[in-house]
Amino acid sequence: MTGVLDNIVYLKAGERKLLRTSKTVLLYCLRGVINVRVEDRAIHLIEKEMLVINSGEEYGWTSDQDSLILKVSIEDYQLHNALRADKTQIILSSVEHQTRDYNSLRFILDSIVKQTSRDNSFALKSLYYLLWDKVVEDYYVKDNYPELISKEGQKFQEISQFVYQHFNENLSLREISEKYGYSESTFSRLFKKYCGEKYVDFLRRVRLEHARSLLLETDSSVADIAFQTGFGNLSVFNRNFLEIYGIQPSKYRQKQNAIDDENIASKNDIKQYIDKTLTSDGNRVSEEIELNIDANGGYPVTKTVTDVLGPVRANELLTGQLQRTILKIKDDLRMKYLMVTDVMELGFDNDPANPSFEKICLALQIITDQLHLIPILEIDRTAAWKGLLSFLELRYTKETIGKWLFKINDSKEYSANEFCNKYISISRAIKEVIPKAKIGAGNINCIINPEKLEKIIEYFQKENVKNEFVSLFCAPFSGEDYKSAYSVSDKHFVENNLNIFEEIAAKYAYKTSLWIEGWDANLIIGDAYNDSCARACHTLMQISDSIEKVEHFCCSRISDWSYVTEQFQYPICGAGGLISKDGLKKPVYYSLFMNVFAPGFCIAKGEGYYVSKTEDDYYCLILYNAQRFNALYYQHDGKVMPEMLDYIFESKKTKTFKLNFSNVKNGTYNVASYEVVSNKNNVLAEWKNLEFKSVLNTGEIEYLNAVCNPKLSYKTEIVSNNVLSLKYVLGPSDFSLIMFTPK
């Protein structure tokens, strides 16, 4: 059989005579006009229109002199095996059914063209299967649903699949009947009933379909093809082929090859098309940003501090691995708080009726005494928590517990009144034991139900409820539930949440400390995006949007170590942690690390940059080149394999930042630059160099720990005339921290 790349063909101006196809074919008009005839249908394809011709249909075409066609085929048996169906029908015609959305398919097909020009066989194979997966998912017409077919009918469908897979073996009626325990007459009757044709006709058709593919796509002799497809001898093969197709096999090959050879487009034809069409101004590959920054300007801001780790489940705190991980990163990231969930579940492990608080106390002791962090405890059951706090008074002073934070979460199941009643009930129970306890509302989303948020804020203000903080869950949601909206996942969804909250809070003169506890663009575990530099850039964008509005920014999951399952067996598994299960720091870790160095006096902020300084002329620049997802990403439902990361963004632009500082004190400055690039020295890029090994040995982990770090460089700049000019080039999803100080 031919390979994937042989099924991707470019055709130039010309014609194809009306012939029956042995494959399922997708035609995509890249340029010009193509007049296609399929059986008795006439379809006129213009640029970006597409059409699928099903196996067994007669089709031909003529085109104008400037046309260019992409033809992508799939062999009949592959569709049959994938769909577990004898007969397949795909109805796809962007001309005849214009109301359907074909943009996703257009993107995949254009990506195939781009990768063809680069001779990227791996990408082409991935895109080829993605294309047919999408076509089958959206355009396959399923005649019979398994749930409506009898068990006997399902059995004969399985028999037909067996014949497809073993067509070249001895599958006479007698052999196949005996294999499945039927008499020949009963088998023949049931096969025709459930499969629509006589068994001998079915077997002959399957063998001839494969024979036609071999005639067109291999150099094997006709005699060899006859033997390979299960025919006893050449004369039997020739007779059957002539009877079905009306032409001898050798002449069929000569005729079809002559037609195709005349119309094959050259590499130069493809290159000219790409240069003219796919690299136009709409898909620029570079962008220049020039900034004129007054060093004497700016304003003090409430800096968004990324000092909250978690959430972590309480039972995870009892594991040495998590403790070691937190100790490894908390000082670098200047962590102060640890958010803990499922606290009471730890106490109900043994007897739900009689909770034991010993394990909970042990977990809290680990947080305060070993990790030296302040716990943020999520609260649910009022009575149980009152008992726990009374128990904790025996171990801790009220002053110590008064430094902890307690978070009462909202949920989509609650109405505004139900949440407010829950909040008041739990907070009163806590205050009875710990009068100075710091209590706040959590898991608040502004986009899903702003009407509910307004009722909550109105209630808090009316009843004079004192919240120490409100923590917003700002993941990209849409609609009325928690369904993730990937179409907005790389946009400014944190800022959108904040704007809604501020507008409602201003209406009721409501003031509180704002926190962010949910900010990731993807909530799905098992997506390579979570391990990528793209996620790090999106994180920097959300942090930059939070400056002046948010006091604390939660750092999401700490480590991927808990995802040690069959589904997430790989060392870099696409989970949401800051470091991998082997302790390797991901790019998102370094995005948070860079934010630590930004002082609280902003002198410039915009798309892709944040510039700040201190009174003693310490300057800090954070630059990032965030990319936008394309339709290909959305088709994966948030589960992209590492091999596909290069193809899930719109137009991958390089950004050049030209920074012109005025009113800088004259003198010599040390300039230090920390750069993270997407194509090397990060966990995904270096894992790719190790061929995505499923298990890393100790030496490989040590190697990755050594190389997966920001690139550090130093230089000096002399400032005269109070002007300093800097230039930095960032590739797609690259990000940098630049600091300069007087020498």
Q: How far apart are CA 166 and CA 172, in angstroms?
A: 12
Closest to 76 in 3D by CA, of 179, 183, 202: 202
Which residues contact residue 121 at a Cβ distance below 8 angstroms, ignoring those fewer than 6 apart? 5
Q: In this structure, what are the phi and psi dihedrals at residue 350, rounded to the nearest 5 degrees? A: -90, -45
Q: What is the CATH number of the domain that holds 231?
A: 1.10.10.60
Closest to 416 in 3D by CA, of 484, 462, 377: 462
CA angle 141, 146, 147 (to 5 degrees): 120
Q: How far apart are CA 88 and CA 136, in angstroms?
A: 10
Round the average pLDDT of the chain to a whole number and report it.
83
Q: Is the dihedral of CA 15, 21, 22, 28 positive or negative?
A: positive
Task: Give me the residues paired with residue 69 across strands.
Answer: 11, 29
What average pLDDT does range 14-28 have in this prediction? 83
What average pLDDT does range 386-395 have in this prediction? 82
User: Is residue 512 domain-shared with residue 454, that is, in the same domain?
Assistant: yes
User: Is residue 236 domain-shared with residue 347, that is, in the same domain?
Assistant: no
Q: What residue type is assigned to position 425 of the chain? A: S
Q: pLDDT class for 448, splitting at 50, 70, 90?
A: confident
What local confidence, expressed as pLDDT, does residue 347 receive?
63
Closest to 486 in 3D by CA, of 537, 538, 428, 544: 538
CA angle 222, 225, 229 (to 5 degrees): 145
What local confidence, expressed as pLDDT, does residue 548 receive?
83
User: Is residue 735 domain-shared with residue 702, that is, in the same domain?
Assistant: yes
Q: What is the DSSP letter of 274?
A: I
CA angle 143, 144, 149 (to 5 degrees): 165
Tokens read off for 588:
């998102």
Instruction: Let me know if residue 37 belongs to a domain.
Output: yes
Q: How far apart are CA 550 and CA 497, in angstroms?
A: 11
**Hey, is 402 helix, strand or coil?**
coil
Whether 396 has a pLDDT exceeding 80, the answer reads: yes
Q: How far apart are CA 120 and CA 134, in angstroms?
A: 21
Q: In this structure, what are the phi and psi dihedrals at residue 439, rounded to the nearest 5 degrees? A: -125, 140
Please identify, among 104, 126, 143, the residue that sits at the C-terminal boundary of a domain. 143
Q: How far apart are CA 690 and CA 449, in angstroms?
A: 46
Closest to 354 in 3D by CA, of 384, 314, 381: 384
What local confidence, expressed as pLDDT, does residue 250 receive?
85
Q: Give the residue carrying structure tokens 């997708």.
A: 26
Q: Which residue has the higher pLDDT, 170 or 608?
A: 608
Q: pLDDT class for 80, splitting at 50, 70, 90?
A: low
Whether 406 has a pLDDT exceeding 90, the answer reads: yes
User: Is residue 177 domain-shared with residue 30, that is, in the same domain?
Assistant: no
Whether 725 has a pLDDT exceeding 90, the answer reads: yes
Please tell me the total count of domains within the chain.
3
Please identify, among 115, 143, 171, the residue that sits at the C-terminal boundary of a domain. 143
pLDDT tens for each residue of 242-286: 888 778 888 877 766 554 445 777 777 777 777 666 554 444 467
Tell me which H or E stretch contains 741. strand 735-742
Q: How far apart are CA 104 and CA 383, in angstroms?
A: 53
| 534 and 645 Cβ atoms separated by less than 8 Å | yes
Instruction: Let me know if residue 256 belongs to a domain.
Output: no
Whether 307 has a pLDDT exceeding 50, the answer reads: yes
CA distances 703 to 425, 577, 682, 690, 697, Å, are 53, 20, 12, 11, 10
Q: How far apart are CA 104 and CA 135, in angstroms?
A: 10
pLDDT tens for each residue of 625-677: 998 887 667 665 556 778 778 777 876 789 999 999 999 999 999 999 999 99
DSSP H helical ranges for 166-304: 173-179, 184-195, 199-217, 222-228, 234-245, 249-263, 267-273
Please identify, among 143, 176, 199, the residue that sits at the C-terminal boundary of a domain. 143
Q: Which domain holds residue 69?
A: 4-143
What local confidence, expressed as pLDDT, does residue 20 receive?
78
Task: Give me the residues paired with residue 38 across strands.
Answer: 41, 59
User: Is residue 131 domain-shared with residue 204, that is, in the same domain?
Assistant: no
Q: How far apart are CA 547 and CA 600, in angstroms?
A: 9
Instruction: Let me know if residue 285 belongs to a domain.
Output: no
User: Is residue 195 domain-shared with residue 118, that is, in the same domain?
Assistant: no
Q: How far apart are CA 430 and CA 438, in angstroms?
A: 9
| 301 and 548 Cβ atoms separated by less than 8 Å | yes
What local confidence, expressed as pLDDT, does residue 504 receive?
93
Helices 493-507 and 533-546 meet at what angle, rounded to 10? Answer: 20
DSSP string, 587-606: HHHHHHHHHHT--SEEEEEE
What local confidence, expressed as pLDDT, does residue 485 receive?
43
Neighbours of 722 (CB within 10 A): 13
What local confidence, expressed as pLDDT, does residue 488 receive?
52
Q: In this structure, what are the phi and psi dihedrals at residue 147, rounded to the nearest 5 degrees? A: -70, -15
What local confidence, expressed as pLDDT, does residue 87 receive?
62
Q: What is the CATH number of the domain that holds 28?
A: 2.60.120.10
DSSP string, 336-375: -EEEEE-HHHHHTSS-TTS---HHHHHHHHIIIIIS--EE
What local confidence, expressed as pLDDT, does residue 635 receive?
60
User: Is residue 131 domain-shared with residue 36, that is, in the same domain?
Assistant: yes
Tokens read off for 355:
């909770």
Cα dihedral 548→550→551→552 (10° resolution): -140
User: Is residue 559 domain-shared with residue 673, that is, in the same domain?
Assistant: yes
Q: pLDDT class for 143, splitting at 50, 70, 90?
A: low
Strands 514-518 and 552-554: parallel
Instruction: Let me know if residue 202 belongs to a domain.
Output: yes
Q: Is the pTM of this model over 0.75?
A: no
Tokens read off for 430:
């806590």
What local confidence, expressed as pLDDT, does residue 149 receive?
52
What local confidence, expressed as pLDDT, does residue 512 receive?
92
Tokens read off for 72:
């992508």
Instruction: Let me know if residue 274 belongs to a domain.
Output: no
Q: How far apart are CA 494 and CA 477, in angstroms?
A: 11
| Terminal alpha carbon distance of the chain | 68
User: Is residue 182 domain-shared with residue 70, that is, in the same domain?
Assistant: no
DSSP string, 59-112: EEEEE-TT-EEEEEEEEHHHHHHHHT-SS--B--BTTT-TTS--HHHHHHHHHH
Q: How far apart are CA 102 and CA 85, in angstroms?
A: 25
For the CA atoms of the chain, what is the radius of gyration? 32
Strands 735-742 and 667-676: antiparallel
| Best mean pLDDT range from 137-146, 162-171, 192-201, 700-709 | 700-709
Q: How far apart are CA 673 and CA 594, in angstroms?
A: 11
Q: How far apart are CA 30 and CA 234, in angstroms?
A: 42
> Backbone dihedral region of 230: left (phi > 0), alpha (psi from -120 to 50 degrees) or beta?
left
Instruction: Let me know if residue 279 belongs to a domain.
Output: no
User: Is residue 151 domain-shared with residue 135, that is, in the same domain?
Assistant: no
Instruction: Let me know if residue 251 belongs to a domain.
Output: no
CA angle 352, 358, 359 (to 5 degrees): 80
What local confidence, expressed as pLDDT, does residue 482 receive?
39
CA distances 458 to 47, 453, 465, Å, are 55, 9, 10
What average pLDDT does range 86-92 have in this prediction? 77
Largest CA distance in the chain: 101
Q: What percent of the chain has pLDDT over 90?
A: 29
Whether 115 has a pLDDT exceeding 90, the answer reads: no
Tell me which H or E stretch contains 421. helix 416-433
Q: pLDDT class for 455, splitting at 50, 70, 90?
A: very high
User: Is residue 133 domain-shared with residue 151, that is, in the same domain?
Assistant: no
What average pLDDT does range 283-297 have in this prediction? 83
Instruction: Let me know if residue 277 belongs to a domain.
Output: no
What local confidence, expressed as pLDDT, does residue 484 receive?
44
User: Is residue 185 domain-shared with residue 92, that is, in the same domain?
Assistant: no
What local confidence, expressed as pLDDT, does residue 581 receive?
86
Q: Which residue has the higher pLDDT, 586 or 121?
A: 586
